[in-house]
């Protein structure tokens, strides 16, 4: 693999890089070419030194909003980024195309073929496949240690980690925080899920899945285990004690552990969905407490263990 600098000629590197100083932080805003030739955004920051650096890619939620989302979060949700930079990690927010309702379950595995001298797919790439494109792209930077790439995804982005690691093995370790893994586990929801009459898409905002036993009885176990069995990446599953989807978070861990996967679990008592990414307060300071500080410390410890030479 030929390695290039982040600031290399974008035409040769199939990427566009714009380096900006945003609120005193040097951020490389990168448009990464995805599997179908469209572009998805990354805001990458480097620690002090020459590298190559281990890197942690941060993701949250179900996609969309493009580079503006990356810039906004690099400004106002950077508490966790700063903790990684202080420990010598490269770090940054990624973004990806919008989640497709049941696209993973109904679309099947992406098959790439050819027609008339060009590529032909059986379906469009999905959001987690954009994340794979980003991972593969940054491996080509000489500032990045290609063998020490980690992921930290929250909520839907936590589920994306499970989807991604089920079929891609180019990540050193990953943390799925509050992973909303109902699609990955092939969950048959209960009556707390309704259908939007205008769009015919499911409304899962009120889904109640606190009980692990309830979730276990409602998944397609054969499908879930088939997906889990192919995972090789060490995983840290983070729960939240009072979350309405805690049963999904916990069962994701239990099934991984039952299949002897390299996985750890910890749940935290916090009232914020997304507590792993503290929010900026109106006074310009981040609103954090001991639970969040402990959770971030646990994440750093997990990556440190798996990134050791």
Domain count, the chain: 1
**DSSP-assigned states of every residue in 27-38:** EEEEEEE-TTS-
User: What's residue 126's pLDDT?
Assistant: 97
Structure tokens of 11? 């035409």
Question: Looking at the predicted structure, is the pLDDT value of residue 78 above 60?
Answer: yes
Question: Looking at the predicted structure, is the pLDDT value of residue 99 above 60?
Answer: yes
In a domain? residue 3: no
In a domain? residue 277: yes
Q: What is the pTM of this model?
A: 0.95
Torsion of CA 62, 66, 68, 69, to 10 degrees: 20
In a domain? residue 152: yes
Q: Which helix (H) or strand (E) holds 92?
A: strand 90-94
Q: CA-based angle 22:28:29, to the nearest 5?
A: 85
* Cα–Cα distance, 221 to 212 (Å, whole number): 13
In a domain? residue 2: no
Domain span including residue 80: 10-307
Neighbours of 45 (CB within 10 A): 21
Question: Looking at the predicted structure, is the pLDDT value of residue 279 above 90?
Answer: yes
Largest CA distance in the chain: 59
In a domain? residue 282: yes
* Cα–Cα distance, 159 to 137 (Å, whole number): 22
In a domain? residue 130: yes
In a domain? residue 5: no
Residues 163-176: pLDDT tens digits?
999 999 999 999 99
| 302 close to 236: Cβ distance less than 8 angstroms | yes
In a domain? residue 1: no
Q: Name the pLDDT band for 309 (thresholds 50, 70, 90).
A: low
* Cα–Cα distance, 241 to 273 (Å, whole number): 11
Residues 19-32: pLDDT tens digits?
999 888 999 999 99
CATH of the domain at 179: 3.40.50.1820
User: What's residue 16's pLDDT?
Assistant: 84
């Amino acid at each position: 693999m030929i390695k290039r600098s982040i600031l290399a000629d974008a035409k040769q590197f199939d990427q566009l890089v714009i380096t900006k100083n945003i609120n005193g932080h040097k951020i490389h805003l990168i448009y990464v070419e995805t599997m179908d030739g469209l572009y998805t955004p990354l805001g990458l920051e480097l620690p002090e030194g020459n590298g190559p650096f281990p890197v942690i890619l941060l993701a949250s939620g179900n996609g969309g909003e493009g580079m503006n989302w990356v810039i906004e979060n690099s400004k106002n949700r950077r508490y966790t980024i700063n903790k990684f930079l202080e420990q010598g990690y490269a770090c940054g927010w990624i973004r990806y195309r919008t989640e497709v309702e049941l696209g993973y379950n109904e679309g099947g595995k992406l098959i790439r073929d050819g027609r008339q001298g060009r590529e032909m797919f059986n379906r469009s790439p999905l959001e987690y496949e954009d994340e794979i494109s980003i991972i593969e792209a940054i491996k080509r930077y000489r500032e990045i240690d290609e063998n020490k790439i980690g992921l930290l995804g929250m909520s839907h982005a936590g589920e994306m980690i499970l989807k991604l690691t089920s079929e891609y093995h180019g990540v050193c370790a990953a943390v799925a925080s509050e992973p909303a893994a109902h699609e990955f586990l092939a969950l048959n929801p209960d009556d707390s899920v309704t259908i939007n009459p205008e769009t015919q898409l499911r409304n899962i905002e009120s889904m109640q899945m606190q009980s692990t036993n309830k979730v276990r009885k409602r998944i397609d176990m054969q499908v879930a285990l088939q997906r889990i069995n192919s995972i090789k990446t060490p995983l840290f599953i983070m729960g939240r004690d009072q979350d309405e989807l805690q049963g999904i978070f916990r069962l994701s861990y239990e099934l991984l552990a039952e299949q002897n996967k390299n996985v750890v679990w910890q749940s935290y008592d916090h009232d914020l969905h997304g507590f792993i990414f503290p929010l900026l307060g109106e006074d310009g300071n981040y609103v954090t407490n001991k639970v969040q500080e402990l959770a971030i410390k646990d994440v750093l410890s997990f990556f440190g263990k798996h990134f050791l030479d």
